[in-house]
């Protein structure tokens, strides 16, 4: 490469990278994978290394820091992050106590704590300053989420006092209080985003956000419960926690020393019901041997300490009367029976409705109207009916008769072989299915159009949007006179719809809402078949040849495209400018123009990534080695293709040689 060529290519690469930065950070709509992005950066870095005079301050390679780190850096744990053994009964706990006493040849003192239901974190402090915060990960290595953890007000950046060790780690649980959780889900609902299922998921998700400002807004909190290091301030767990409290950490005030297992039982019995009044989620009690000398004698198994265990609370239950049953029709047409209950207090909230799952479950439990039913709130926020109190069944009650027709549109329900749920087949005209389809279409992972459920409902009720294609003919004048709207919000909506036409094919495919075609399947289909036309024409065998596509998905795709109204909608969307072909926007270089590749063996990344890379550099990738194949790219454990390539004299290259071909050498 001459200096002149290098200069040209560097400029080209910067432009491509900037464009992908914009798509990733500004539009939130990347069209290449992180791997492909890294490869571009590596190529640029390789050029700049060879021709240092080309390095400029503005080059993307020079901008290190939070705005170009897409994922978190992995860090090894100094002490592995183990889990706790579980016990579910008082008997099992007695056995734990017996094992402990046998191991110690004496009487242990226990410390009881609540088991907080959040996500574990390890914080390292150096000279009293927060140095690093790492998630549990696989127990050996976790994600460095320090930037996000620094936004949690209850985690001290600087410790108080002067009796803390020069270096130590403290572990705890990051959690989201119920109030913050409910606020977050309300906001998400309004923005048309999927709500979090429970505070634990919400806490874990918020900790892994790429934007720390957003983490800061989420109202996270943290309880610390475990100190590790060489020079701890005491020889037992309880006093270490008291020291941690003095240094400024939040240690739960509900931590108790228990002189015997009987005292542990008392603690458990108390919290089994009292936890309902706590403003955060707990799922049990943790029991730890207090003395460090005792802990050392008991040691660890491969997975957990022998000096600690947890007692899991049973999901909270309530018993109440079943007043009536509603049937909700979801966006896919799936029918869910929902119980209307006499209001009852459960886990801190009044419950009036609960899921009844499906027809089978209802008949299995023999649930009848006006039965007294047991309602349970597990980890999930939606309560479910789990059983019936037969002693309180009213006289003369009859088995429940499941509906046969859709409560929304009257169509006869169908139930496919092997499916638990009934479906309303009238997907083109059943209102909740239409609304659901539109809501799915605009959602963030699909077309990312910023409108909430309420807006969709408004557009639908006013007859403006009856299907997803109608969105693209919407005009500002149509909506600006809605109650509480105005020019600005109307403009924003129209702009967001127009912007969505740049969404890459794989996401458009996901957005169409073909039954069983989720995000991953859509990506695989887009990578394999490349266009909506190829997909629409594909027969059963061609569909089954696609990774992830089985009989059920294939049947659903065939049914979708055999429906005239779906084909019509696609035609209209195409006219509106939506992307119906894969990878059209990605071109990195012509380095591989005219070359054809076949891949075999295990590479450092999935094959699809390499295929995409080959195509982005102008080459083509196929599945069978022939005399026309330019290169066989072979990873570890290449198979029969290696033999064929050798026989045909096709050149075999490894990943490193491939990287050289596309100019990435470091």
Minimum gap (Å) between residue 84 Cβ and ligand IVH: 4
Of the listed pieces 6-14, 76-84, 321-329, 630-638, which binds ligand IVH according to CB under 6 A?
76-84
Q: Does position 610 bind ligand IVH by CB under 6 A?
A: no
Out of 4, 115, 421, 628, the active site residue is 115
Rounded to the nearest 5°, which phi and psi values hold at 262? Answer: -65, -40
Q: Does position 435 bind ligand IVH by CB under 6 A?
A: no
Q: Does position 143 bind ligand IVH by CB under 6 A?
A: no
Minimum gap (Å) between residue 301 Cβ and ligand IVH: 11
**Contact of 526 with 511, CB cutoff 8 Å:** no
- For residue 177, the 8-state DSSP code is -
Residue 515: how many other CB atoms lie within 10 Å: 18
Query: Is 115 labeled as catalytic in the residue annotation?
Result: yes
Minimum gap (Å) between residue 469 Cβ and ligand IVH: 48
Residue 561: how many other CB atoms lie within 10 Å: 16
Q: Which is nearer to ligand IVH, 43 or 173 (CB)?
A: 173
Q: Which is nearer to ligand IVH, 175 or 505 (CB)?
A: 175
Q: Which is nearer to ligand IVH, 111 or 447 (CB)?
A: 111
* DSSP per residue, 536-564: HH--HHHHHTSTT--HHHHHHHHHHHH-H
Q: Which is nearer to ligand IVH, 79 or 129 (CB)?
A: 79
Beta strands (DSSP E) in 363-512 are 372-377, 384-388
Separation of alpha carbons 530 and 374, rounded Å: 51
**Interface pattern 510-529 for ligand IVH (x via CB under 6 A):** --------------------
Q: Which residue is nearest to ligand IVH (CB)?
A: 120
Minimum gap (Å) between residue 386 Cβ and ligand IVH: 24
Separation of alpha carbons 550 and 213, rounded Å: 42
Question: Of 13, 241, 264, 286, which one interacts with ligand IVH (CB under 6 A)?
Answer: 286
Separation of alpha carbons 562 and 177, rounded Å: 49
Site for ligand IVH in 450-509 (CB under 6 A): none
- The sign of the torsion formed by the CA atoms of 633, 638, 644, 648 equals positive
Minimum gap (Å) between residue 467 Cβ and ligand IVH: 46
Q: Which is nearer to ligand IVH, 173 or 427 (CB)?
A: 173
Separation of alpha carbons 253 and 271, rounded Å: 13
C-alpha atoms less than 13 angstroms from C-alpha of 192 in its C-beta half-sphere: 23
Residue 194, classed as helix, strand or coil, is coil
Q: Does position 14 bind ligand IVH by CB under 6 A?
A: no
Lookup result for tokens 């929902």? 338
Minimum gap (Å) between residue 250 Cβ and ligand IVH: 12
Question: Of 9, 14, 77, 115, which one interacts with ligand IVH (CB under 6 A)?
Answer: 115
Question: Of 41, 55, 82, 458, which one interacts with ligand IVH (CB under 6 A)?
Answer: 82
Q: Does position 145 bind ligand IVH by CB under 6 A?
A: no
Question: Of 72, 96, 110, 116, which one interacts with ligand IVH (CB under 6 A)?
Answer: 116
Reduced 3-state DSSP string for 320-374: EEEEEEEEEECCCCEEEEEEEEEEEEECCEEEEEEECCCHHHHHHHCCCCCCEEE
Contacts with 222 (C-beta within 8 Å, 6 or more apart), sequence order:
121, 152, 154, 155, 172, 173, 174, 175, 250
Separation of alpha carbons 99 and 62, rounded Å: 58
Minimum gap (Å) between residue 224 Cβ and ligand IVH: 9
Q: Which is nearer to ligand IVH, 120 or 406 (CB)?
A: 120
Question: Of 6, 31, 84, 335, which one interacts with ligand IVH (CB under 6 A)?
Answer: 84
Minimum gap (Å) between residue 347 Cβ and ligand IVH: 18
Minimum gap (Å) between residue 227 Cβ and ligand IVH: 11
Q: Which is nearer to ligand IVH, 247 or 311 (CB)?
A: 311
Of the listed pieces 81-89, 426-434, 462-470, 484-492, which binds ligand IVH according to CB under 6 A?
81-89
Of the listed pieces 97-105, 109-117, 203-211, 600-608, which binds ligand IVH according to CB under 6 A?
109-117
Separation of alpha carbons 532 and 508, rounded Å: 10
Separation of alpha carbons 240 and 255, rounded Å: 12
Residue 620, classed as helix, strand or coil, is strand
Separation of alpha carbons 25 and 594, rounded Å: 34
- CB-count exposure of residue 650 (10 Å: 0-12, 13-18, 19+): buried
Site for ligand IVH in 298-337 (CB under 6 A): 305, 308, 310
Q: Does position 242 bind ligand IVH by CB under 6 A?
A: no
**Alpha-carbon distances of 143 from 214, 475, 555, rounded to whole Å:** 18, 46, 41
**Contact of 110 with 122, CB cutoff 8 Å:** no
Q: Does position 83 bind ligand IVH by CB under 6 A?
A: yes
Tokens at 168, concatenated: 């130590």
**Interface pattern 222-241 for ligand IVH (x via CB under 6 A):** ---xx---------------
Minimum gap (Å) between residue 138 Cβ and ligand IVH: 12
How far is residue 322 CA from its own chain's centroid?
34
Q: Which is nearer to ligand IVH, 111 or 592 (CB)?
A: 111
Site for ligand IVH in 17-56 (CB under 6 A): none
Q: Does position 200 bind ligand IVH by CB under 6 A?
A: no
Of the listed pieces 29-37, 111-119, 196-204, 328-336, which binds ligand IVH according to CB under 6 A?
111-119
Q: Does position 169 bind ligand IVH by CB under 6 A?
A: no
Q: Does position 113 bind ligand IVH by CB under 6 A?
A: yes
Q: Does position 195 bind ligand IVH by CB under 6 A?
A: no
Lookup result for tokens 């730890």? 288
Contacts with 61 (C-beta within 8 Å, 6 or more apart), sequence order:
41, 44, 45, 48, 55
**Contact of 386 with 375, CB cutoff 8 Å:** yes
Of the listed pieces 114-122, 143-151, 372-380, 534-542, which binds ligand IVH according to CB under 6 A?
114-122
C-alpha atoms less than 13 angstroms from C-alpha of 374 in its C-beta half-sphere: 13
Per CB under 6 A, residues contacting ligand IVH are 82-84, 113, 115-116, 120, 173, 225-226, 286, 305, 308, 310
Tell me which residues are annotated as active site: 115
């Amino acid at each position: 490469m001459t200096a002149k060529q290098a200069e040209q290519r560097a400029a080209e690469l910067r432009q491509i990278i900037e464009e992908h930065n914009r798509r990733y950070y500004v539009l939130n709509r990347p069209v290449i994978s992180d791997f492909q992005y890294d490869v571009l950066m590596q190529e640029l870095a390789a050029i700049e290394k060879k021709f240092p005079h080309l390095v400029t301050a503005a080059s993307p390679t020079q901008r290190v820091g939070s705005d170009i780190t897409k994922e978190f850096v992995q860090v090894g744990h100094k002490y592995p992050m183990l889990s706790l053994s579980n016990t579910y009964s008082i008997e099992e706990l007695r056995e734990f106590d017996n094992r402990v006493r046998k191991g110690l040849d004496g009487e242990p003192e226990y410390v009881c704590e609540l088991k907080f239901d959040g996500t574990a974190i390890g914080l390292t402090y150096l000279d009293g300053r927060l140095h690093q915060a790492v998630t549990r990960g696989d127990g050996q290595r976790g994600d460095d989420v320090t930037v996000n953890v620094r936004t949690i007000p209850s985690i001290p950046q600087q410790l108080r006092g002067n009796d803390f060790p020069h270096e130590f780690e403290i572990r705890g649980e990051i959690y989201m209080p119920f109030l913050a959780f409910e606020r977050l889900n309300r906001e998400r609902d309004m923005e048309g985003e999927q709500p979090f299922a429970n505070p634990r998921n919400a806490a874990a998700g918020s900790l892994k956000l790429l934007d720390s400002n957003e983490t800061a807004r989420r109202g996270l909190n943290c309880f610390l419960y475990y100190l590790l290091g060489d020079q701890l301030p005491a020889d037992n767990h309880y006093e270490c926690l008291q020291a941690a409290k003095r240094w400024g950490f939040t240690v739960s005030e509900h931590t108790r020393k228990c002189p015997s297992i009987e005292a542990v039982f008392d603690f458990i019995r108390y919290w089994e019901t009292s936890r309902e009044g706590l403003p955060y989620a707990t799922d049990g009690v943790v029991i730890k041997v207090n003395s460090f000398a005792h802990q050392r004698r008991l040691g660890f198994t491969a997975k957990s300490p022998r000096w600690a265990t947890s007692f899991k609370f049973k999901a909270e239950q309530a018993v109440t009367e079943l007043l009536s049953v509603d049937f909700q029709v979801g966006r896919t047409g799936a029918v869910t029976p929902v119980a209307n209950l006499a209001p009852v207090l459960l886990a801190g909230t009044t419950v009036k409705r609960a899921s009844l799952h499906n027809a089978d479950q209802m008949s299995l439990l023999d649930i009848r109207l006006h039965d007294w039913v047991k309602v349970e709130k597990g980890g999930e926020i939606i309560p479910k009916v789990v059983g019936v109190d037969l002693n309180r069944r009213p006289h003369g009650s009859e088995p429940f008769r499941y509906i046969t027709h859709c409560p929304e549109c009257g169509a006869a329900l169908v139930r496919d072989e092997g499916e638990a749920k009934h479906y309303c087949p009238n997907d083109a005209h059943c209102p909740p299915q239409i609304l659901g389809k539109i809501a799915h279409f605009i959602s963030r992972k699909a077309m990312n159009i910023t409108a909430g459920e309420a807006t969709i409902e408004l557009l639908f009720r006013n007859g403006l949007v009856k299907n997803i294609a109608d969105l693209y003919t919407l005009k500002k004048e149509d909506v600006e006179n809605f109650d509480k709207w105005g020019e600005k919000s109307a403009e924003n909506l129209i702009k967001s719809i127009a912007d969505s036409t740049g969404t890459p094919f794989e996401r458009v495919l996901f957005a169409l809402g073909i039954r069983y075609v989720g995000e991953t399947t859509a990506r695989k289909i887009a990578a394999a078949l490349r266009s909506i036309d190829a997909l629409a024409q594909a027969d059963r065998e061609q569909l089954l040849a696609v990774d992830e596509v089985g009989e059920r998905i294939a049947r659903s795709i065939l049914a979708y495209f055999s429906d005239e109204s779906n084909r019509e909608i696609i035609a209209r969307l195409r006219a509106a400018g939506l992307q119906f072909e894969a990878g059209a926007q990605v071109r990195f270089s012509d380095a591989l123009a005219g070359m054809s590749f076949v891949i075999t063996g295990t590479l450092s990344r999935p094959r699809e990534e390499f295929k995409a890379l080959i195509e982005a550099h102008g080459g083509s990738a196929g599945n069978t080695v022939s005399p026309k194949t330019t290169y066989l790219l072979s990873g570890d454990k290449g198979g029969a293709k290696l033999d064929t390539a050798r026989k045909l004299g096709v050149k075999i290259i490894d990943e490193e040689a491939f990287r050289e071909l596309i100019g990435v050498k470091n």
